Amino acid sequence: PLTVMDALSRYLLGLEATGSTADEEAWPVFERLFEENGLPDRIRSDNGPPFASAGVTGLTPLAVRFIKLGIALERIQPGKPQQNGRHERFHLTMLPMADAPKADKAAQARAFEDFRRSYNEERPHEALGMDTPAQHYRPSTRPMPKTAPEPDYPTEAAVRGVRQNGAV
């Protein structure tokens, strides 16, 4: 599943049953979360899809969308999952539920939403002084724009298209 969590409050914003890690499946989830909760200042992720690629810049279509929205990319070092310890620990908490998939995607989505609600509103967290994430979470004040802003280049800059193979 695609999991999105606020690092400070541990509030689970999204727990989505996606069929893959492709940009086409991940972007609609982030788009909805940004519309509901505002834009974060940064997104911390591992170095795998849909967040990073093995290309020269390491950017994926999803990462480019984040950058266009003014969201800083914060990636952990390759092979160092402990740098994203909170999120990795959450995955251990979620594992029993994820190991028992439901009959169809709609049933899985309901189970994930029930878990998300319980995790955020009922389950106390030691790191939060035994409060729930919902007691600490505050949405961003940065609204999701209707359209992504276009880059603003200085007048003296030469803007050129770059092909998939890197040729200008």
Res 144: pLDDT: 96
Assign domain 2-136 to a CATH class.
alpha beta
Res 102: pLDDT: 73
Q: Is residue 6's pLDDT more than 70?
A: yes
Q: Is residue 164's pLDDT more than 80?
A: no
DSSP 81-126: GGGGHHHHHHHHHHHHHHTS--SSHHHHHHHHHHHHHHHHHT--BG
Confidence of residue 105 (pLDDT cuts 50, 70, 90): confident
Percent of the chain with pLDDT over 90: 54
Res 79: pLDDT: 85
Res 165: pLDDT: 79
Candidates 129, 105, 141, 140; CA nearest to 25 is 105
Q: Please state, rounded to an integer, the average pLDDT across all residues of the chain.
A: 90
Res 63: pLDDT: 94
For the chain, the domains span: 2-136
Q: Is 79 left (phi over 0), alpha (psi -120 to 50) or beta?
A: left
Residue-wise pLDDT for 36-76, tens only, equals 999 999 999 988 889 988 888 889 999 999 999 999 999 98
Res 99: pLDDT: 66
